[in-house]
Amino acid sequence: MTTTIPTARPMLFSGPDVRALLIGRKTQARRAVKNATGAFWDHAAYSPVVAGGAIQGWRDPEGRLFGWGTPCPACPHGVPGDRLWVREKWHTCPHCPDGFVAYGAGGFRQVAPGVAASNHTCALPLSRKCAAHGWKPSIHMPRWASRITLEIVDVRVERLKSITQEDAKAEGLAFVDDGCSEWGVPGIAGTWSDVPRESFSALCESIYGPDSWGRNPWVWVIAFKKVTP
């Protein structure tokens, strides 16, 4: 019996996103659609029709089919069943035994055999070590250094402002009940709100600029679950 290996693509995540992924708090990601022009983009949202491992068309919320048999937008991040491997800020540890990688979001991982993780000790604190040697940006992370693999369970395309309260939470928001019950992103000031959508909009503006939410761009919505690499 032949086993089909899922298609795997890289995706960049920030430090707060990675920490949310590690504990299972982040189960969705939104990425901008490029060149969203033409009649196809006149509607509010679309869900894909997948056949043969590829998107063959899209349905709008009323169930109408678009793009079947003609060129139609294909999500560059994959379809349900495909996998994403996470690129994050990283560093090969110069003060530890060979085969370990340090991560900017925190933690170490053994990536080569022959070194016991329980014996892993660092001669310098992580902050001092990386201040001296510099972090490697996430875009330069190779597949072997990645510690998180995600399986796509759903993909759709919609306007950024179409995000629901529940989907905003699934973007990795933390909840703090310290008397005011707020949602936000630890370490990013200004993202805390008692309304998840407002917290998410503040997060977008902190990353992409003050007009990013107001532009209301089309985005790919990728839902996923964490799997063993």
The whole-number pLDDT of residue 109 equals: 79
Residue 69 above 70 pLDDT? no
* Per-domain boundaries in the chain: 8-86+148-227, 90-136
pTM confidence score = 0.81
> DSSP class of residue 106?
S
The whole-number pLDDT of residue 229 equals: 61
For residue 138, give Cα distances in angstroms to 24, 38, 89, 188.
20, 33, 4, 19
In contact, 154 and 50? CB cutoff 8 Å: no
Please report the sign of the dihedral spanned by the C-alpha atoms of residue 77, residue 53, residue 151, residue 58.
Answer: positive
Q: Which fold has domain 8-86+148-227?
A: 2.30.130
Encode pLDDT of 162-185 as tens digits: 999 999 999 999 999 877 789 999
